[in-house]
Structure 1
């Protein structure tokens, strides 16, 4: 057997370093925490340094920092599920400001594949958890150098597809060899996640060799106990967490096989521990007073504040707060796969996933107010919901929560509402015109408005916020991707990343329901370019014919890139009469930034007639270039 561990460098006492593998009565203890950045080239080093710098950029602030994803393998008498549930119970009891997303393999259906069982739904949920953002992702179960679980619920191709540059997660894998960095023939899964330049992980606590469930359980538990506990008013650095975790997890030799792939001097993206976001009051505003009970179709107003530990309002805090109101917990029954010895693996798992309302409110002088209408589609039995809060002034961010918010019942004597919401659809940005061009990855934007707000609870079958691509029978559920606009519950947006779109024409349909269960549907046509190279479509000028001025317009498949645009205008005999240029910074999908007044280079009016123009577009990102030609008519 061999080991690859940095622990040796942390044993600084003269008597330490022998590493006895059998006698743990007087174990060596780490004096410092050590991390490794597993780079082989200057480019990889630059990638990691840039990720570490970007991780602390205020541009990455968001309520994803309030989320933790817990992933568990199936089988083994539900051992791995029970380990994940232990961590979930610990966080719920001690750190309720964090919202837990449970992705247990046995909660999702499996399919037979060429190499064994697979679970597409589990893969999809993990991808969504990564791309929506999670401060920390924890896995318990079986694994290898390149995959997690026999069902391959995380693979290297999957890691390569993650788009979470502004929401980098820290990953803990209590499994075998996923962080084996000393194999020169290939990158491990952990290395791939860390080295991915536009997403993946900011760091990992992973393993370099086989480990065993008993030792994993102890180390995983101790990590969670240490990672979220402030010390002298500050949150701990990764190196200190690693040192204390290892020193308190000395039950067996597999301790040394855990390693920190990341910067030991960094802190996770914790909120400021000296401040909290408070809910000061919850009031109903319907004809039947609701007190602080959130009843279906009641209008609720939440007031709150940013406070110091001594409950003093921080009057210098000005920014925004994101408010997420969660429904009561529900129970998910697992499938019970891999039952053994006549014992059932079926378990009940408590989850809190249904969102009553999510939106943003302005914070002024430390105070905020937000209103919303509770959807008709709540579970009507009374029970405890939760309000999760995240505030930022673009310098610091603050966490808060309110538990035991009573949700249930129905408000009486509400005014009827039979008007459905309105939905406007775009790809990538709001300049997109139906039928325009995209790449194989595109962001669906849905702008939705309604007088009484949008239903995102997802409780009633058929009342979900959904998107359907082409004639697919599998809808995309967008409930958890909708956020109300700043200081308004009556409008909001969905941003959803579409991946691996096939070249050619497509149609996507989005259906939305308001809080009164009125629905509407809208569709958007788009074309995926047959190549990732720069492509143009729908080139025209308007008005055409022109008398005084015309604007040149086209669609392209490189939104967000800086583009150089040149338009040369010729007579029908081929004489160049005018050249127009423009640099479109972070260009939108639909370009309409160049106009012409019908004059030549000397600002002299041209003779009426037919002219030819050639549009040349060049990407500053990769030098890709394309030309297209059209005609225009000049009248006087």
Structure 2
């Protein structure tokens, strides 16, 4: 439950599990705050004697959403290489007065973790404020950094680490992220552990706002849990605490979140950092896959087809193959001040191939095409991951050696097709304000997922005089290295006409361009693709997912009835953004008893923000 300093709950709804605050204060800028260590301190030394966390929910609906998220996370419902991805985020060199005096603070701490505490097989996405806008232009830098943060976050990751200035409603002076931006964060079932090594991002006892950034992300679908401080902290303390946690999880063992948050707090005498989440949730990097044996050639050829042979492993399993390019050093220079400010950091290890393969019989051979623009020499890495039960396993080959290959005769660029759902778009298309643009790309030489030259990327969308990098949104189809698709969310505020262009390169640098004229119009409220899966239910250990697609953000509730009309279970009202949504039912009634076999009726009820309603009834057969 959540807590506020309104101990008598005069304003209602927030003070469910009261917080311990050594000094009571309602000042958001005050140095004092709450610490939950008090509830687990059995010896009186000020430190928790067992693992503790707070799930700061305020309603049954929030708790239901949290539990559903937790179950899906621990069952590893969504596997994929996102479980081997870190998102590293850093503030820039400017302080609150606009003076570039903090180059030695936030970025060097993140870069230390990047260089020394990030294992080679981890794919790294970097959202460093120095990469965006112009030095000293707080508005431009903040706007571009915010856009990058949201796009990177929405692609999913195992872990997000932030170093910088913050408070319950804001990250960085440039406003990289504000509390009101959080509904734009949509992980689609891939929530990371978020860690904010900053000041007061975890202050959870304020009356306004009801939920700060760390709380909100933990309660909603943005994070499986958050670790953040309730008070101001010294930058050195943040640095060492972050190092401790990263070093701990590098053993590639399974750790409860309570251990991850707690052990470093004791080591560095911290009591005001709070875990927002279930301390018993199990977290780990991908576990070593000891059953897998893979052979690759001594040297792989760029600009050519290559292969890896899986000699031993688990057949009838979906394997994910990821090849990461070696990272390079990048030097940032701020020459607007004298003396100039510089810093050299280690860049991203960008994926140059990402695909999935359904292995039926062993041994089996996986084929992939390396881009001709990749660097030769040592330093790249191959990772092969798979799900086994509720574990996510990984096998790595590092370092790979790249050499120049024999360039083929392919002179044509990729074929490009636009879709909304399964409807192909030709030349001109009428579309809603918000939709998913699906682009199918195919080429015998594969699609270039690396840099082509300069700032030119392998897949780009040109719109509003800007080029949008679409490489992170591309996935090859299963068992293919020649064909795949981009899925990119398109969002517009009002009806308009707009021209877009898709530019794609194959791995031999052959280019194709396709144009599309969009007629963007607001559409009526609708709910489609309403399904229950599985249906019928035959496994007694299975649950049911109710899925649907909303044309507009809405409140959704599922009710399940017997054939005689008796209410068996209700999900409670839950808020969903436009697009795909799902609600999980564990096949227990409102009294938490197992339900019996039989035919049931489920009703989906929706109400959007404009008050428009929709409901439908369908059947569900349970035959366990």
TM-score bucket (shorter structure)? 0.7 to 0.9
Quote the Cα distance in structure 2 between the aligned partners of 1:216 and 1:57.
32
1:293 Cα deviation from its structure 2 partner: 2.1
CA contact (8 A) 1:206 1:258 kept: yes
Counterparts of 1:380-529 in structure 2, within 5 Å, are 381-392=376-387, 396-408=391-403, 410-412=404-406, 414-427=407-420, 429-434=421-426, 435-436=428-429, 438-461=431-454, 463-468=456-461, 470=463, 472-500=464-492, 502-529=494-521
1:502 Cα deviation from its structure 2 partner: 3.7
Matching residue of 1:346? 342
CA contact (8 A) 1:110 1:119 kept: no
> What are the Cα deviations for residues 340-371 of structure 1, in whole angstroms up to 9, with x where unaligned?
xx664311222234333221222335654211
Counterparts of 1:18-57 in structure 2, within 5 Å, are 28-57=46-75
1:276 Cα deviation from its structure 2 partner: 4.7
**Equivalent residue for 1:165, pick from 188, 192, 208:** 188
1:44 Cα deviation from its structure 2 partner: 2.3
Does 1:362 pair with 2:358? Answer: yes
Matching residue of 1:267? 282
Does 1:240 pair with 2:259? Answer: yes
TM-score (normalizing by structure 1) = 0.73
Q: 1:463 to 1:182 in 2, by over 3 A?
A: closer
Instruction: In structure 1, list runs of 5 or more residues that go unmatched.
Output: 18-27, 284-291, 306-312, 537-555, 564-586, 590-617, 627-636
**Equivalent residue for 2:268, pick from 243, 249, 264:** 249
Does 1:65 pair with 2:83? Answer: yes
Q: 1:244 to 1:444 in 2, by over 3 A?
A: same
Matching residue of 1:227? 249
1:457 Cα deviation from its structure 2 partner: 1.1
Q: 1:458 to 1:407 in 2, by over 3 A?
A: same
**Equivalent residue for 2:106, pick from 46, 60, 80:** 80
1:521 Cα deviation from its structure 2 partner: 1.8
- Name the SS of the counterpart of 2:205 in structure 1: coil
1:274 Cα deviation from its structure 2 partner: 5.5
Quote the Cα distance in structure 2 between the aligned partners of 1:184 and 1:402.
51
Matching residue of 2:534? none
Q: 1:368 to 1:164 in 2, by over 3 A?
A: farther
> What are the Cα deviations for residues 232-282 of structure 1, in whole angstroms up to 9, with x where unaligned?
xx50101122221211112xxxx21210011111013643x3525856222
Structure having the higher Rg:
1
Does 1:89 pair with 2:111? Answer: no
CA contact (8 A) 1:456 1:464 kept: yes
TM-score (normalizing by structure 2) = 0.74
Quote the Cα distance in structure 1 between the aligned partners of 2:70 and 2:124.
25
1:5 Cα deviation from its structure 2 partner: 0.4
Q: 1:40 to 1:415 in 2, by over 3 A?
A: closer
Quote the Cα distance in structure 1 between the aligned partners of 2:131 and 2:518.
35
Quote the Cα distance in structure 1 between the aligned partners of 2:487 and 2:140.
32
Quote the Cα distance in structure 1 between the aligned partners of 2:380 and 2:288.
26
Does 1:149 pair with 2:180? Answer: no
Matching residue of 1:195? 219
Quote the Cα distance in structure 2 between the aligned partners of 1:128 and 1:532.
27
Q: 1:501 to 1:401 in 2, by over 3 A?
A: farther
1:183 Cα deviation from its structure 2 partner: 0.2
Query: Which ranges of 4 or more aligned residues in structure 1 deviate by more than 6 Å?
Result: none
Matching residue of 1:331? 329
Quote the Cα distance in structure 1 between the aligned partners of 2:364 and 2:289.
15
Number of residues paired by the alignment? 507
CA contact (8 A) 1:229 1:236 kept: no
- Name the SS of the counterpart of 1:157 in structure 2: helix
Select between 167-176 and 520-529 the one with higher mean Cα deviation.
520-529
CA contact (8 A) 1:7 1:34 kept: yes
**Equivalent residue for 2:159, pick from 120, 136, 145:** 136
CA RMSD of aligned residues (A): 3.2
**Equivalent residue for 1:101, pick from 117, 125, 130:** 125
Q: 1:533 to 1:302 in 2, by over 3 A?
A: same
CA contact (8 A) 2:249 2:284 kept: no
1:299 Cα deviation from its structure 2 partner: 1.9
Does 1:10 pair with 2:40? Answer: yes
Q: 1:502 to 1:189 in 2, by over 3 A?
A: same
Matching residue of 2:563? none
- Name the SS of the counterpart of 2:484 in structure 1: strand
1:619 Cα deviation from its structure 2 partner: 9.2
Quote the Cα distance in structure 2 between the aligned partners of 1:560 and 1:321.
35
Instruction: In structure 2, list runs of 5 or more residues that go unmatched.
Output: 1-22, 24-31, 94-101, 529-548, 557-577, 581-602, 615-624
- Name the SS of the counterpart of 1:521 in structure 2: strand
